[in-house]
């Protein structure tokens, strides 16, 4: 008997898996845990909150709030305005 393997099941061979989250080697586990917690809270409440994250603000064109995730977790405003204007000059930001 031959087993059928769906394409999404093959991903397990490529990515290390630890229970509730994907672990990629050389990525800080603390950042991974904070992002996992933020995603879970976003799914549950609609707000991506987690211990270690600043208070979230919804994105608006005027505010341009964006959460930067990494070694220094912070909320910034219009951090990529120049890049977006370069990529799509006809769009109004």
How many Cβ atoms sit within 10 Å of the Cβ of residue 38? 21
Exposed/middle/buried for 35, CB within 10 Å: 0-12, 13-18, 19+?
Answer: buried
Nearest to 81 by CA among 67, 54, 63, 58: 63
Q: How far apart are CA 88 and CA 81, in angstroms?
A: 10
What token pair was written down for 60? 């608006």
The per-residue pLDDT string of the chain (93 residues; one tens digit each, 9 = 90 and over) reads: 455 544 544 444 444 444 555 555 545 678 888 889 999 999 999 999 999 899 999 988 889 999 988 878 899 999 888 888 898 888 776
């Amino acid at each position: 008997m031959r087993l059928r393997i769906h394409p999404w099941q093959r991903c397990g061979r490529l990515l290390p898996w630890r229970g509730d989250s994907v672990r990629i080697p050389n990525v800080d586990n603390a950042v991974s845990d904070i992002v996992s917690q933020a995603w879970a809270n976003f799914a549950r409440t609609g707000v991506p909150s987690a211990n270690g994250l600043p208070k979230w603000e919804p994105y608006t064109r005027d505010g341009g709030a964006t959460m930067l995730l990494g070694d220094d977790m912070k909320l910034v405003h219009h951090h990529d305005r120049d890049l977006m204007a370069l990529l799509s000059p006809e769009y109004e930001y």
